[in-house]
Structure 1
Amino acid sequence: MTEIVFAIGLLMGLTLNALLLATLFFPPFRIWPTPKPGTWQSITFWTLFRGGMLFAFILGLLDWNAVPLLDATRFIFGVPLFVIGFGITVLGYFNLGLGNTYCGSDGLVTGGLYHISRNPQYTFSIMGLIGLSIFANSYLTIAQSFVMACVYVLMALTEEAWLEREYGDTYKAYCRATARFLDIPALFGMKQKPRVEDAG
Protein backbone atom coordinates (compact mmCIF):
# COMPACT_ATOMS: atom_id res chain seq x y z
CA MET A 1 0.00 0.00 0.00
CA THR A 2 2.75 2.45 0.98
CA GLU A 3 4.66 1.76 -2.24
CA ILE A 4 1.53 2.36 -4.34
CA VAL A 5 0.84 5.67 -2.59
CA PHE A 6 4.46 6.68 -3.12
CA ALA A 7 4.37 5.75 -6.82
CA ILE A 8 1.17 7.74 -7.45
CA GLY A 9 2.34 10.76 -5.46
CA LEU A 10 5.74 10.76 -7.14
CA LEU A 11 4.17 10.47 -10.59
CA MET A 12 1.89 13.44 -9.87
CA GLY A 13 4.75 15.56 -8.56
CA LEU A 14 7.11 14.71 -11.41
CA THR A 15 4.41 15.34 -14.01
CA LEU A 16 3.71 18.75 -12.51
CA ASN A 17 7.42 19.59 -12.48
CA ALA A 18 7.64 18.65 -16.16
CA LEU A 19 4.65 20.86 -17.03
CA LEU A 20 6.14 23.77 -15.07
CA LEU A 21 9.46 23.35 -16.87
CA ALA A 22 7.56 23.41 -20.18
CA THR A 23 5.90 26.65 -19.04
CA LEU A 24 9.27 28.14 -18.13
CA PHE A 25 11.17 27.20 -21.28
CA PHE A 26 8.54 26.83 -24.00
CA PRO A 27 6.09 29.72 -23.91
CA PRO A 28 3.32 30.35 -24.78
CA PHE A 29 2.49 26.98 -23.18
CA ARG A 30 1.33 27.80 -19.67
CA ILE A 31 0.22 25.57 -16.80
CA TRP A 32 0.96 28.21 -14.12
CA PRO A 33 -0.33 30.76 -13.37
CA THR A 34 -3.42 28.99 -14.64
CA PRO A 35 -5.97 30.65 -16.91
CA LYS A 36 -9.50 31.04 -15.53
CA PRO A 37 -11.06 28.22 -13.44
CA GLY A 38 -12.50 25.36 -15.47
CA THR A 39 -9.77 25.35 -18.10
CA TRP A 40 -7.76 22.19 -18.61
CA GLN A 41 -4.70 23.99 -17.22
CA SER A 42 -6.49 24.93 -14.00
CA ILE A 43 -7.98 21.46 -13.49
CA THR A 44 -4.69 19.73 -14.29
CA PHE A 45 -2.55 22.00 -12.15
CA TRP A 46 -4.71 21.92 -9.03
CA THR A 47 -5.32 18.16 -9.29
CA LEU A 48 -1.61 17.39 -9.54
CA PHE A 49 -0.57 19.99 -6.96
CA ARG A 50 -3.11 19.09 -4.31
CA GLY A 51 -2.61 15.39 -4.95
CA GLY A 52 1.17 15.65 -4.67
CA MET A 53 0.96 17.57 -1.39
CA LEU A 54 -1.69 15.24 0.03
CA PHE A 55 0.43 12.20 -0.78
CA ALA A 56 3.43 13.79 0.98
CA PHE A 57 1.38 14.01 4.19
CA ILE A 58 -0.07 10.52 3.76
CA LEU A 59 3.41 9.07 3.21
CA GLY A 60 4.54 10.76 6.42
CA LEU A 61 1.94 8.66 8.24
CA LEU A 62 2.20 5.40 6.27
CA ASP A 63 6.00 5.30 6.25
CA TRP A 64 6.40 6.85 9.71
CA ASN A 65 9.83 6.22 11.28
CA ALA A 66 10.53 3.52 8.68
CA VAL A 67 14.29 4.01 8.62
CA PRO A 68 16.77 4.72 11.43
CA LEU A 69 17.90 8.11 10.15
CA LEU A 70 17.27 10.19 13.26
CA ASP A 71 16.33 9.61 16.89
CA ALA A 72 13.55 11.30 18.86
CA THR A 73 15.44 14.61 18.86
CA ARG A 74 14.16 15.06 15.30
CA PHE A 75 10.92 16.40 16.80
CA ILE A 76 12.81 19.35 18.29
CA PHE A 77 13.61 20.60 14.80
CA GLY A 78 10.98 18.97 12.60
CA VAL A 79 7.80 19.93 14.41
CA PRO A 80 8.56 23.69 14.70
CA LEU A 81 9.59 23.82 11.04
CA PHE A 82 6.39 22.05 10.04
CA VAL A 83 4.07 24.15 12.20
CA ILE A 84 5.73 27.50 11.51
CA GLY A 85 6.18 26.78 7.81
CA PHE A 86 2.62 25.77 7.03
CA GLY A 87 1.21 28.21 9.59
CA ILE A 88 2.83 31.14 7.80
CA THR A 89 1.68 29.68 4.48
CA VAL A 90 -1.92 29.89 5.70
CA LEU A 91 -1.38 33.48 6.84
CA GLY A 92 -0.04 34.22 3.38
CA TYR A 93 -3.41 33.33 1.84
CA PHE A 94 -5.05 36.09 3.89
CA ASN A 95 -2.22 38.51 3.04
CA LEU A 96 -2.39 37.79 -0.70
CA GLY A 97 -6.17 37.45 -0.97
CA LEU A 98 -8.25 34.67 -2.45
CA GLY A 99 -8.37 36.18 -5.94
CA ASN A 100 -4.60 36.52 -6.27
CA THR A 101 -4.05 33.06 -4.75
CA TYR A 102 -6.08 31.57 -7.58
CA CYS A 103 -4.27 33.51 -10.31
CA GLY A 104 -6.41 36.63 -10.35
CA SER A 105 -5.14 40.14 -10.91
CA ASP A 106 -6.46 41.81 -7.77
CA GLY A 107 -3.44 44.08 -7.33
CA LEU A 108 0.24 43.55 -6.59
CA VAL A 109 0.67 42.83 -2.88
CA THR A 110 3.98 44.07 -1.45
CA GLY A 111 3.24 44.49 2.26
CA GLY A 112 3.06 42.11 5.18
CA LEU A 113 4.79 38.81 4.44
CA TYR A 114 5.43 40.06 0.92
CA HIS A 115 7.81 42.67 2.33
CA ILE A 116 10.35 39.96 3.23
CA SER A 117 9.76 37.67 0.26
CA ARG A 118 8.19 37.82 -3.17
CA ASN A 119 7.00 34.26 -2.56
CA PRO A 120 6.41 33.76 1.18
CA GLN A 121 3.82 31.01 0.73
CA TYR A 122 6.17 28.96 -1.41
CA THR A 123 9.17 29.65 0.83
CA PHE A 124 7.46 28.66 4.04
CA SER A 125 5.71 25.68 2.47
CA ILE A 126 9.16 24.36 1.58
CA MET A 127 10.13 24.92 5.22
CA GLY A 128 7.06 22.94 6.26
CA LEU A 129 8.01 20.09 3.92
CA ILE A 130 11.52 20.03 5.41
CA GLY A 131 9.96 19.78 8.86
CA LEU A 132 7.70 16.94 7.70
CA SER A 133 10.67 15.08 6.23
CA ILE A 134 12.65 15.43 9.45
CA PHE A 135 10.06 14.21 11.92
CA ALA A 136 8.53 11.52 9.66
CA ASN A 137 11.99 9.90 9.42
CA SER A 138 11.16 8.30 6.08
CA TYR A 139 13.05 8.09 2.80
CA LEU A 140 9.77 8.03 0.86
CA THR A 141 8.52 11.18 2.58
CA ILE A 142 11.83 12.92 1.92
CA ALA A 143 11.62 12.00 -1.78
CA GLN A 144 8.02 13.18 -2.17
CA SER A 145 8.69 16.36 -0.21
CA PHE A 146 11.71 17.14 -2.37
CA VAL A 147 9.68 16.73 -5.56
CA MET A 148 6.98 19.05 -4.21
CA ALA A 149 9.57 21.57 -3.02
CA CYS A 150 10.83 21.69 -6.62
CA VAL A 151 7.25 22.43 -7.69
CA TYR A 152 7.19 25.48 -5.41
CA VAL A 153 10.50 26.75 -6.81
CA LEU A 154 9.29 26.35 -10.39
CA MET A 155 5.97 28.05 -9.56
CA ALA A 156 7.91 31.07 -8.34
CA LEU A 157 10.02 31.16 -11.50
CA THR A 158 7.22 30.60 -14.01
CA GLU A 159 4.92 33.27 -12.62
CA GLU A 160 7.47 36.09 -12.80
CA ALA A 161 6.99 36.79 -16.51
CA TRP A 162 3.21 36.80 -16.02
CA LEU A 163 3.45 39.20 -13.09
CA GLU A 164 5.70 41.49 -15.10
CA ARG A 165 3.13 41.59 -17.89
CA GLU A 166 0.34 42.28 -15.40
CA TYR A 167 2.06 44.94 -13.29
CA GLY A 168 4.91 46.27 -15.42
CA ASP A 169 7.36 48.71 -13.83
CA THR A 170 5.73 48.40 -10.41
CA TYR A 171 6.58 44.70 -10.32
CA LYS A 172 10.10 45.34 -11.63
CA ALA A 173 10.68 47.81 -8.79
CA TYR A 174 9.30 45.29 -6.32
CA CYS A 175 11.70 42.64 -7.64
CA ARG A 176 14.65 44.99 -7.15
CA ALA A 177 13.56 45.72 -3.58
CA THR A 178 12.54 42.24 -2.41
CA ALA A 179 14.22 38.84 -2.48
CA ARG A 180 12.61 36.08 -4.54
CA PHE A 181 12.47 33.68 -1.59
CA LEU A 182 13.67 35.13 1.71
CA ASP A 183 15.52 38.32 2.59
CA ILE A 184 17.13 37.48 5.94
CA PRO A 185 18.27 41.04 6.82
CA ALA A 186 14.78 42.38 6.01
CA LEU A 187 13.21 39.58 8.07
CA PHE A 188 15.05 40.78 11.17
CA GLY A 189 14.58 44.47 10.40
CA MET A 190 18.26 44.96 9.60
CA LYS A 191 17.70 46.29 6.09
CA GLN A 192 15.76 49.32 4.92
CA LYS A 193 14.09 48.81 1.58
CA PRO A 194 12.39 51.37 -0.63
CA ARG A 195 8.63 51.40 -0.37
CA VAL A 196 6.85 49.89 -3.33
CA GLU A 197 3.28 51.04 -3.77
CA ASP A 198 0.61 48.39 -4.30
CA ALA A 199 -0.95 48.38 -7.72
CA GLY A 200 -4.69 48.06 -7.62
Structure 2
Amino acid sequence: MDLSLPLVAFAVGFAAESVNLVGIASSALGWTKYWPPGERGWRYYTHWTLEQTFNVSLLVVTYFGWNSLGFPTPALVAGAVCFAVPFAGALLAGRGLGSEETMGLEGELRTGGWYRYSRNPQYVCYVVATVGFAVFAATPPVFALCAVYLLSWVTLPFAEEPWLREQYGEAYERYAQRVPRFVGPASVRALADRRSAADAE
Protein backbone atom coordinates (compact mmCIF):
# COMPACT_ATOMS: atom_id res chain seq x y z
CA MET A 1 0.00 0.00 0.00
CA ASP A 2 1.24 3.46 -0.86
CA LEU A 3 1.50 5.32 2.43
CA SER A 4 2.12 8.74 0.90
CA LEU A 5 -1.54 9.81 0.80
CA PRO A 6 -2.43 8.95 4.43
CA LEU A 7 0.83 10.50 5.64
CA VAL A 8 0.17 13.71 3.73
CA ALA A 9 -3.45 13.72 4.93
CA PHE A 10 -2.30 13.27 8.52
CA ALA A 11 0.25 16.08 8.26
CA VAL A 12 -2.21 18.46 6.60
CA GLY A 13 -5.00 17.65 9.05
CA PHE A 14 -2.77 17.94 12.10
CA ALA A 15 -1.40 21.28 10.90
CA ALA A 16 -4.85 22.66 10.03
CA GLU A 17 -6.41 21.85 13.40
CA SER A 18 -3.28 22.96 15.26
CA VAL A 19 -3.48 26.39 13.61
CA ASN A 20 -7.13 26.68 14.64
CA LEU A 21 -6.29 25.52 18.16
CA VAL A 22 -3.57 28.16 18.49
CA GLY A 23 -6.00 30.82 17.29
CA ILE A 24 -8.71 29.66 19.68
CA ALA A 25 -6.31 29.41 22.63
CA SER A 26 -4.84 32.84 21.92
CA SER A 27 -8.38 34.25 21.86
CA ALA A 28 -9.15 32.57 25.19
CA LEU A 29 -6.03 34.18 26.67
CA GLY A 30 -7.03 37.59 25.31
CA TRP A 31 -4.05 37.85 22.97
CA THR A 32 -6.05 37.88 19.72
CA LYS A 33 -9.65 37.99 18.51
CA TYR A 34 -9.43 35.03 16.16
CA TRP A 35 -12.53 33.27 17.53
CA PRO A 36 -15.41 33.88 17.43
CA PRO A 37 -15.22 35.94 14.24
CA GLY A 38 -18.57 37.70 14.75
CA GLU A 39 -18.89 38.42 11.04
CA ARG A 40 -17.95 36.91 7.70
CA GLY A 41 -14.39 38.17 7.36
CA TRP A 42 -10.95 36.61 7.02
CA ARG A 43 -11.13 35.00 10.47
CA TYR A 44 -14.43 33.31 9.64
CA TYR A 45 -13.22 31.93 6.32
CA THR A 46 -9.82 30.93 7.69
CA HIS A 47 -11.31 29.03 10.60
CA TRP A 48 -13.88 27.13 8.59
CA THR A 49 -11.52 26.37 5.71
CA LEU A 50 -9.04 24.87 8.16
CA GLU A 51 -11.83 22.99 9.93
CA GLN A 52 -13.12 21.40 6.73
CA THR A 53 -9.56 20.59 5.68
CA PHE A 54 -9.12 18.77 8.97
CA ASN A 55 -12.37 16.84 8.56
CA VAL A 56 -11.43 15.60 5.09
CA SER A 57 -7.95 14.66 6.29
CA LEU A 58 -9.42 12.76 9.24
CA LEU A 59 -11.65 10.72 6.94
CA VAL A 60 -8.74 9.90 4.61
CA VAL A 61 -6.50 8.79 7.49
CA THR A 62 -9.34 6.70 8.92
CA TYR A 63 -10.01 5.03 5.58
CA PHE A 64 -6.42 3.92 5.10
CA GLY A 65 -5.68 2.96 8.68
CA TRP A 66 -8.99 1.72 10.03
CA ASN A 67 -8.58 -0.76 12.91
CA SER A 68 -4.84 -1.17 12.46
CA LEU A 69 -4.77 -1.98 16.19
CA GLY A 70 -7.11 -4.92 15.70
CA PHE A 71 -9.81 -3.88 18.15
CA PRO A 72 -12.53 -6.53 18.65
CA THR A 73 -15.87 -5.98 16.97
CA PRO A 74 -17.74 -5.05 20.20
CA ALA A 75 -15.25 -2.23 20.82
CA LEU A 76 -15.67 -0.94 17.27
CA VAL A 77 -19.46 -1.05 17.58
CA ALA A 78 -19.30 0.76 20.93
CA GLY A 79 -17.09 3.42 19.36
CA ALA A 80 -19.48 3.84 16.44
CA VAL A 81 -22.45 4.26 18.78
CA CYS A 82 -20.54 6.69 21.01
CA PHE A 83 -19.80 8.70 17.89
CA ALA A 84 -23.17 8.58 16.14
CA VAL A 85 -25.50 9.34 19.06
CA PRO A 86 -23.65 12.41 20.42
CA PHE A 87 -22.97 13.64 16.87
CA ALA A 88 -26.72 13.60 16.21
CA GLY A 89 -27.20 15.40 19.52
CA ALA A 90 -24.71 18.07 18.49
CA LEU A 91 -26.59 18.63 15.24
CA LEU A 92 -29.88 18.98 17.12
CA ALA A 93 -28.33 21.39 19.62
CA GLY A 94 -26.88 23.38 16.73
CA ARG A 95 -30.29 23.55 15.11
CA GLY A 96 -31.68 24.97 18.34
CA LEU A 97 -28.91 27.55 18.51
CA GLY A 98 -29.18 28.64 14.88
CA SER A 99 -26.75 28.38 11.98
CA GLU A 100 -25.34 31.89 12.38
CA GLU A 101 -24.55 31.49 16.08
CA THR A 102 -23.17 27.98 15.55
CA MET A 103 -20.65 29.35 13.07
CA GLY A 104 -19.44 32.08 15.40
CA LEU A 105 -21.52 34.94 14.00
CA GLU A 106 -23.62 37.49 15.85
CA GLY A 107 -27.12 36.40 16.77
CA GLU A 108 -29.50 35.96 19.68
CA LEU A 109 -28.67 34.62 23.12
CA ARG A 110 -30.24 31.17 23.37
CA THR A 111 -31.06 29.87 26.84
CA GLY A 112 -33.83 27.36 26.16
CA GLY A 113 -33.91 23.81 24.85
CA TRP A 114 -30.59 22.03 25.22
CA TYR A 115 -29.08 25.30 26.44
CA ARG A 116 -30.99 25.22 29.72
CA TYR A 117 -28.79 22.27 30.78
CA SER A 118 -25.41 23.38 29.42
CA ARG A 119 -24.05 26.60 27.95
CA ASN A 120 -22.23 24.48 25.37
CA PRO A 121 -24.25 21.34 24.63
CA GLN A 122 -22.79 21.08 21.13
CA TYR A 123 -19.27 20.95 22.48
CA VAL A 124 -20.21 18.41 25.16
CA CYS A 125 -21.65 16.19 22.43
CA TYR A 126 -18.69 16.71 20.13
CA VAL A 127 -16.22 15.78 22.88
CA VAL A 128 -17.97 12.44 23.40
CA ALA A 129 -18.38 11.92 19.64
CA THR A 130 -14.68 12.57 19.06
CA VAL A 131 -13.70 9.94 21.63
CA GLY A 132 -16.15 7.51 20.06
CA PHE A 133 -14.76 8.16 16.58
CA ALA A 134 -11.21 7.55 17.79
CA VAL A 135 -12.24 4.20 19.27
CA PHE A 136 -14.08 3.26 16.08
CA ALA A 137 -11.10 4.22 13.88
CA ALA A 138 -8.72 2.22 16.11
CA THR A 139 -5.52 3.56 14.59
CA PRO A 140 -2.81 5.71 16.24
CA PRO A 141 -2.77 8.54 13.66
CA VAL A 142 -6.48 9.12 14.25
CA PHE A 143 -5.85 9.13 18.00
CA ALA A 144 -3.37 11.97 17.47
CA LEU A 145 -5.76 13.94 15.25
CA CYS A 146 -8.65 13.46 17.67
CA ALA A 147 -6.47 14.59 20.58
CA VAL A 148 -5.96 17.97 18.90
CA TYR A 149 -9.66 18.07 18.07
CA LEU A 150 -10.57 17.44 21.71
CA LEU A 151 -8.36 20.31 22.83
CA SER A 152 -10.17 22.59 20.39
CA TRP A 153 -13.61 21.58 21.66
CA VAL A 154 -12.61 22.12 25.28
CA THR A 155 -10.93 25.47 24.57
CA LEU A 156 -13.67 27.00 22.40
CA PRO A 157 -15.98 28.10 25.26
CA PHE A 158 -13.16 30.02 26.95
CA ALA A 159 -12.55 31.94 23.73
CA GLU A 160 -16.25 32.66 23.25
CA GLU A 161 -17.23 33.77 26.74
CA PRO A 162 -15.58 37.24 26.74
CA TRP A 163 -17.25 37.94 23.38
CA LEU A 164 -20.60 36.68 24.66
CA ARG A 165 -20.34 38.93 27.73
CA GLU A 166 -19.59 41.86 25.46
CA GLN A 167 -22.53 41.03 23.18
CA TYR A 168 -25.21 40.21 25.75
CA GLY A 169 -24.03 41.86 28.97
CA GLU A 170 -26.02 41.21 32.12
CA ALA A 171 -28.31 38.71 30.41
CA TYR A 172 -25.36 36.44 29.72
CA GLU A 173 -23.95 36.94 33.22
CA ARG A 174 -27.22 35.74 34.75
CA TYR A 175 -27.32 32.81 32.36
CA ALA A 176 -23.71 31.85 33.14
CA GLN A 177 -24.43 31.90 36.87
CA ARG A 178 -27.39 29.57 36.41
CA VAL A 179 -26.14 27.10 33.80
CA PRO A 180 -22.74 25.31 33.80
CA ARG A 181 -20.18 25.75 31.05
CA PHE A 182 -20.28 22.05 30.18
CA VAL A 183 -22.35 19.83 32.51
CA GLY A 184 -22.68 19.62 36.27
CA PRO A 185 -25.11 19.30 39.18
CA ALA A 186 -27.12 22.25 37.86
CA SER A 187 -27.66 20.31 34.62
CA VAL A 188 -29.11 17.38 36.56
CA ARG A 189 -31.34 19.67 38.63
CA ALA A 190 -32.64 21.42 35.51
CA LEU A 191 -33.41 18.08 33.89
CA ALA A 192 -35.15 16.83 37.04
CA ASP A 193 -37.21 20.03 37.26
CA ARG A 194 -38.17 19.65 33.62
CA ARG A 195 -39.36 16.09 34.17
CA SER A 196 -41.25 17.06 37.32
CA ALA A 197 -43.04 19.83 35.45
CA ALA A 198 -43.90 17.41 32.64
CA ASP A 199 -45.26 14.85 35.11
CA ALA A 200 -47.35 17.53 36.82
CA GLU A 201 -49.01 18.32 33.52
| Both proteins in one fold, TM over 0.5 | yes
Q: Distance in 2 between matches of 1:138 and 1:185?
A: 37
Match of residue 7 from structure 1: 11
Identical-residue share of aligned pairs (%): 24
DSSP 3-state at the match of 2:73: coil
- Does the 8 A contact of 2:80 with 2:136 survive in 1? yes
Matches within 5 A, 1:43-82: 43-68=45-70, 70-82=71-83
Q: Which amino acid aligns with 2:20?
A: L
Residue in structure 2 matched with residue 197 of structure 1 by the alignment? none
Structure 1 residues 35 and 190, CA, compared in 2 at 3 Å: closer, same or farther?
A: closer
Q: 1:85-127: CA deviations, max 9, x gaps? A: 1101111221001221233332110111111111111111111
Residue in structure 2 matched with residue 17 of structure 1 by the alignment: 21
Structure 2 CA distance for aligned equivalents of residues 97 and 170 of structure 1 = 19
Q: How does 1:17-166 map to 2 (within 5 A)?
A: 17-27=21-31, 29-37=32-40, 39-68=41-70, 70-166=71-167
Higher Rg of the two aligned structures:
2
More helix by share: 2
After the TM superposition, which segments of 4 or more aligned residues of structure 1 sit over 4 Å from their partners?
Answer: 187-193
The verdict on how the C-alpha distance between 1:121 and 1:9 changes in structure 2, with shifts beyond 3 A counting, is same
Q: Given residue 62 of structure 2, which amino acid in structure 1 is its aligned partner?
A: G
Aligned residues: 190
Normalising by structure 1, what TM-score? Answer: 0.87
CA deviations 1:121-144 (Å, max 9, x no partner) are 111111111111111111111110
2:10 partner letter: F
AA matched with 1:119: N
Separation of aligned partners in 2, 1:89 and 1:134: 19
Going from structure 1 to structure 2, the CA distance change for 1:190 and 1:100 (only over 3 Å counts) comes to closer
2:197 is aligned to: none
